[in-house]
Amino acid sequence: MRAILKSKATVVAAVMASTTMVAAEDVEVLHWWTSGGEAAALNVLKQDLEGQGIGWTDMPVAGGGGEQAMTVLRARVTGGNAPTAVQGLGFDILDWGNQGSLANLNDVAAKEGWDDVVPDALKAFAKVDGKWVSAPVNVHSTNWVWANKAVLDANGIAVPTTWDEFTAALDTLKSAGVTPIAHGGQAWQDATVFDAVAMSVLGPDGYKAAFIDLDEGTLGSEGMKEAFDRMAVIRANVDDNFSGRDWNLATAMVINGEAGFQMMGDWAKGEFLNADKVPGEDFLCFRFPGTAEQVTFNADQFMMFDQGGAVSAEQAALASAILSPSFQSAFNVVKGSVPARTDVSDADFDDCGKQGMKDLAAAAASGNLFGSMAHGHAAPASVKNAIYDVVTAHFNGEYDSETAVAELVDAVSIAK
């Protein structure tokens, strides 16, 4: 891991000659990348900027889904003290852009040809009224399953490709005294699992109808009830101490052989790599059963907040560094995600990374690439949060599946 960081941390181009601001100062960056693997990946960006003489003022806010970070951000902006750059997702970026709070990065984007290399699905969340307001860092896909290979081998379990095979594997692990599923009981984690389960039951057309089009008939369908029924099966296969557990601690359970599986986005791979684990040898990565041809995604981006005038020198340098091909490769190799631009080679990526890049390209080409509901790329935050409430209430036993479906229809209707 350290070797990757050293070999990949390169100096990107200096601030564009057309920039009229004074010499760059430190950048203050608000983010929620606080786990070991995430911190290692972020260090690639810090080193990039240090090579340009730009310091980094770190403002980490723990919380894997970013909710706490957004709360802190709102307080900062309300107080007239916005950070230089802020990690953002999906509709949160569009909300800030539509409020006029974000800087215009068009000069940087035009000089470096962002429009030619960033996929349309990402540009939909990086541009407001034709103006680039954020710099995409990566593409994460969320419908992955991570498994401890030694645990599966010891119990004679092959990679499951159907729901029935998956539930059989869960039964085998439970009988062997192994926690079948590592999970953290936080709303965004519950929703991440539900994302994959719903896609597997409803299929791509049903997923789009439910979570992007917000079609009431699909939200209230028998298929949605089946999705909740399957969530109940998953709930029966997590340990008793799941409530409130951070996602990376759940990943550690799989790494340490305490659990067989975790359903989590590909940021989980960074934790395996940070623990010196090798894909295919120590751990396995595969799509949630029933979603082999679909990819649900989110994309981390850095929003550049208006500092009271033209884009600052440090913002231009940060944006340029983020979209440079060398950084896109170096960062995503460590982070577990795939590049946000389409012209980056997969040569330095491990087997899971290569598979992720291949899956993403295939899903985009076939029309099976969908913004993740759980991660703010399918519907606005008000709708996402309403779905969170229902999914978590059901997962914690407050609703049976039939009640959850009715509550989902009502919650989305009110939220939209």
Residue 129 is which amino acid? Answer: D
- Say yes or no to pLDDT of 306 above 80: yes
Question: Rounded to an integer, what distance in angstroms lies between the CA atom of residue 42 and that of residue 248?
Answer: 16
Q: How would you write the chain as a 3-class SS string? A: CHHHHHHHCCCCCCCCCCCCCCCCCCEEEEECCCCHHHHHHHHHHHHHHHCCCCCEEEEECCCCCCHHHHHHHHHHHHCCCCCCEEEECHHHHHHHHHCCCECCCHHHHHHHCHHHHCCHHHHHHHEECCEECEEECEEEECCEEEEEHHHHHHCCCCCCCCHHHHHHHHHHHHHCCCEEECCCECHHHHHHHHHHHHHHHHHHHHHHHHHHCCCHHHHCCHHHHHHHHHHHHHHCCECCCCECCCHHHHHHHHHCCCEEEEECCCCHHHHHHHCCCCECCCEEEEECCCCCCCEEEECCEEEEECCCCCCCHHHHHHHHHHHCHHHHHHHHHHHCCEECCCCCCCCCCCHHHHHHHHHHHHHHHHCCEEECCCCCCCCCHHHHHHHHHHHHHHHCCCCCHHHHHHHHHHHHHHHC
0.85 exceeded by pTM: no
Task: Please state, for a pLDDT cut of 70, what percent of the chain lies above it.
Answer: 94
Direct distance between the N- and C-terminal alpha carbons of the chain, in angstroms, rounded to an integer: 44
User: Which of 40-49, 77-86, 96-105, 108-117 is predicted least confidently?
Assistant: 40-49
What pLDDT does residue 14 have? 27
Question: Rounded to an integer, what distance in angstroms lies between the CA atom of residue 299 and that of residue 306?
Answer: 21
- The residue among 386 and 12 whose pLDDT is bigger is 386
pLDDT, tens digit, for every residue of 90-105?
A: 999 999 999 999 999 9
Place of tokens 């089946």: 226
Average pLDDT over residues 369-380: 94
Q: Tokens representing 60?
A: 């980490």
Question: Rounded to an integer, what distance in angstroms lies between the CA atom of residue 180 and that of residue 167?
Answer: 10
Paired with 134 in beta bridges are 303
User: Which of 42-51, 87-96, 262-271 is predicted least confidently?
Assistant: 42-51
Question: Rounded to an integer, what distance in angstroms lies between the CA atom of residue 63 and that of residue 34?
Answer: 8
Q: Phi and psi for 294 in degrees, rounded to 5?
A: -110, 150
Paired with 303 in beta bridges are 86, 134
Pick the CATH number of 2-139+298-352 from 3.30.565.10, 3.40.50.2020, 3.40.50.720, 3.40.190.10: 3.40.190.10
415 pLDDT tier (thresholds 50, 70, 90): very high
Please name the residues in contact with 178: beta carbons below 8 A apart, sequence gap of 6 or more.
Answer: 151, 155, 258, 259, 260
Q: CATH assignment of 144-296+356-415?
A: 3.40.190.10
The vertex-392 CA angle with 390 and 395, nearest 5°, equals: 110
Domain boundaries, the chain: 2-139+298-352, 144-296+356-415
Q: How far is CA 393 from CA 185, 200, 337, 376, 413, in A?
A: 11, 21, 30, 19, 18
Average pLDDT over residues 320-335: 92
pLDDT, tens digit, for every residue of 135-171?
A: 999 999 999 999 999 999 999 999 999 999 999 999 9
Q: Is the dihedral of CA 276, 279, 282, 288 positive or negative?
A: positive
Same fold flag, 2-139+298-352 and 144-296+356-415: yes
Question: Rounded to an integer, what distance in angstroms lies between the CA atom of residue 358 and that of residue 131?
Answer: 30
Report CA Rg, the chain.
21
Q: Tokens representing 79?
A: 């107080």
- Say yes or no to pLDDT of 6 above 50: no
pLDDT, tens digit, for every residue of 200-215?
A: 999 999 999 999 999 9
- Say yes or no to pLDDT of 16 above 60: no
